[in-house]
């Protein structure tokens, strides 16, 4: 079945540590996105990528980094510069002009 897989489902980060969230899709979609969702809030765009080896900052890119070396993969690294990383992270992909398909999310907690 085609879809988007995010891993892990739960992730714990210590202070000062970098962590990487995985996002893989087998839908042959060109564009991929990362969003952050805080409790009771909407989705805020962190980064998005329209093609391999290219990506654009969203509204809250500070403290995050991404790469797009393969069409299927768009990992997100939460760096130590992100002071408040505890949130629910969602990855999505789309064909041009089409609806976004979402993964099931990664819940990141700072311990």
Partner 1 sequence: EDQVTQSPEALRLQEGESSSLNCSYTVSGLRGLFWYRQDPGKGPEFLFTLYSAGEEKEKERLKATLTKKESFLHITAPKPEDSATYLCAVQINTDKLIFGTGTRLQVFP
Point out which residues bind partner 1 (CB under 8 A). 31, 33, 35, 40-45, 48, 50, 56, 58, 88, 90, 92, 94, 96-105, 107
Are 29 and 86 spatial neighbours (Cβ–Cβ below 8 Å)? Answer: no
Strand order in the sheet with 64-66: 4-7, 19-25, 76-78, 64-66
Residue number, 8 or 81, with CB nearest to partner 1: 8
Residue number, 75 or 105, with CB nearest to partner 1: 105
Nearest distance in Å: CB 49, partner 1: 9
Strand partners for 65: 77
Nearest distance in Å: CB 62, partner 1: 17
Residue number, 16 or 42, with CB nearest to partner 1: 42
Q: Interior CA angle at 8 toward 12 and 49, to 5°?
A: 105
- In 3-state terms, what secondary structure has residue 1? coil
């Amino acid at each position: 079945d085609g879809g988007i897989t995010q891993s892990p489902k739960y992730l714990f980060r210590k202070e000062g540590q970098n962590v990487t969230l995985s996002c893989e899709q087998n839908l042959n979609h060109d564009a991929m996105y990362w969003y952050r969702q805080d409790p009771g809030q909407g989705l805020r765009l962190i980064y998005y990528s329209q093609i391999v080896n290219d990506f654009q900052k969203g509204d809250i890119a500070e403290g995050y980094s991404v790469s797009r070396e393969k069409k299927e993969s768009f990992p997100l690294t939460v760096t130590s510069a992100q002071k408040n990383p505890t949130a629910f992270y969602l990855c999505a992909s789309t064909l041009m002009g089409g609806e976004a398909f979402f993964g099931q999310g990664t819940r990141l907690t700072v311990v």
